[in-house]
Amino acid sequence: MALRQIRGQKDEILRKKSREVNIDDITLEKNQSLIDDMLETMYHYNGVGLAAVQVGILKQIIVIDIEDGKGPYILINPKILKTKGEKECDEGCLSFPNEFGKVIRPTEVQVEFYDRDAKYVKLKAKDLLAQAICHEVDHLNGVLFTDKVIPGTLEYVEQKQ
């Protein structure tokens, strides 16, 4: 496992659409290593989620851990099937260190994806997990949280030394 460099807000790759992973390739060593590296990187920077594009790889791979005792969640080729409700959420992003804003996200989502063992999964997620899934799926489509921030709510918070 290795720490990967997180691409910052000015990196053009963050605006590109990620490609689907061939289902037969999910279990290849290079993809398994990428998943492990993404997890290590996410945990190192105290993130809740990370999309492969944030480490410079245009593949539809997401890792999420909301510390609910059920994670980490590995979502490959995720597709949001349904959303329900909406709420205002505080949000940040590892590609935008120390920036936070309020966005509107669904309270529930139903998503289908493949896990790291190439097994098909359909998941109903609520609250923080739903928010994280939406945030990371946006990354796969070249959409950044700053695109969705409610005007006037984006703040830069100085990091404590």
The neighbour count for residue 101, using CB atoms within 10 Å, is 20
- How far apart are alpha carbons 141 and 89 in whole angstroms? 20
- Please name which of 54, 49, 51 lies closest in space to residue 14, comparing C-alpha atoms: 54
- The phi and psi torsions of 140 (rounded to 5 degrees) equal -65, -20
Domain range summary for the chain, segments of one domain joined by + = 12-156
For residue 81, give the H/E element and its range. Answer: strand 73-84
Contact (Cβ atoms closer than 8 angstroms) between residue 17 and residue 137: no
- Please name which of 80, 89, 123 lies closest in space to residue 107, comparing C-alpha atoms: 89
Q: For position 17, what pLDDT does the model report?
A: 98
> Tokens 């739903």 identify what position?
130
The neighbour count for residue 11, using CB atoms within 10 Å, is 15
Question: Helix/strand/coil (H, E, C) string of 36-68?
Answer: HHHHHHHHHCCCCEEEHHHHCCCECEEEECCCC
- How far apart are alpha carbons 46 and 22 in whole angstroms? 30
- How far apart are alpha carbons 52 and 62 in whole angstroms? 6
The stretches of the chain forming alpha helices (DSSP H) are 29-44, 127-140, 145-148
Which residues participate in catalysis according to the annotation?
136
Which homologous superfamily does the CATH classification assign to the domain defined by 12-156? Peptide deformylase (3.90.45.10)
Q: 59-89 pLDDT, tens per residue?
A: 999 999 999 999 899 999 999 999 999 999 9
Q: What is the pTM of this model?
A: 0.94
- Please name which of 6, 103, 3 lies closest in space to residue 53, comparing C-alpha atoms: 6
The one-digit pLDDT tens for each residue of the chain (161 residues) are 799 999 998 999 999 999 999 999 999 999 999 999 999 999 999 999 999 999 999 999 999 999 999 989 999 999 999 999 999 999 999 999 999 999 999 999 999 999 999 999 999 999 999 999 999 999 999 999 999 999 999 999 877 65
